[in-house]
Amino acid sequence: MHELSVCQGLLDQVARVAADHGALGVKHIVVRIGPLSGVVPELLQQAFPLARAGTMAADAALMIEELPVRVHCDACGADTEAKPNRLLCGECGDWHTQLISGDELLLASVELLKEEAHV
């Protein structure tokens, strides 16, 4: 949900990174998303061409790395992988767990185009 405005937030951040580095454009954007962020990668990918139009990233490609859901068990101490709607310990099955990964919404890296670049 909210994928279009999440894209706009993303492109704001990218525009700042590009401006800080004096870049002429943006080539690649890599984001990391967990299923419990509430953002659907496919919808983000669909919204991206709409959001990037007219920005510094108008020709940029978006790569989305999907992160696994992982929990830490308060009962047995194990760190295990889980499903978004079943956050139980994979070792002992207890539900007293803490999410340690899976709700991320991160800008991982940006590849910039620069005037002086000899590529």
Partner 1 sequence: MCDTCGCNVTHGNAHLAEKKNAQGHSAVSVLTDLLSANDRQAAHNRRHFDGHGVFVVNLMSAPGAGKTLLLEATIDALKDELRIAVIEGDLETENDAARIRAKGVPAHQIVTGTACHLDAHMVHDALHHMTLDGLDILFIENVGNLVCPASFDLGQHRNVTLLSVTEGDDKPAKYPVMFRTADLMLLTKTDLLPVLDDFDPARAEGALRALANPAPVLRLSAKKRDGLEAWSDWLRAQLARIRASDPAIRAEIPGRPPRFRPVNPKPATQGV
Task: Indicate whether 30 belongs to the interface with partner 1 (CB under 8 A).
Answer: no
Task: Indicate whether 92 belongs to the interface with partner 1 (CB under 8 A).
Answer: no
Q: Contact region for partner 1 (CB under 8 A) — 47-55, 58-66, 111-119?
A: 47-55
Burial class (CB in 10 A: 0-12, 13-18, 19+), 28: middle
What is the DSSP code string of 36-105?
GGS--HHHHHHHHHHHHTTSTTTT-EEEEEEPPEEEEETTT--EEEEBTTB---TTT--S-EEEEES--E
Q: Contact region for partner 1 (CB under 8 A) — 14-22, 60-68, 111-119?
A: 14-22
- Of residues 64 and 118, the one with the C-beta less far from partner 1: 64
- To the nearest whole angstrom, how small is the minimum distance from the Cβ of residue 115 to partner 1? 19
Q: Which of 71, 58, 56 is nearest to 13 (CA)?
A: 56
- Of residues 103 and 118, the one with the C-beta less far from partner 1: 103
Give residue for tokens 């760190």.
79
Task: Indicate whether 113 belongs to the interface with partner 1 (CB under 8 A).
Answer: no
Q: Which residues bind partner 1 (CB under 8 A)?
A: 1-6, 8-13, 15-17, 19-20, 31, 36-38, 40, 43, 46-47, 50, 55, 71, 74, 84-88, 95-99, 103-108
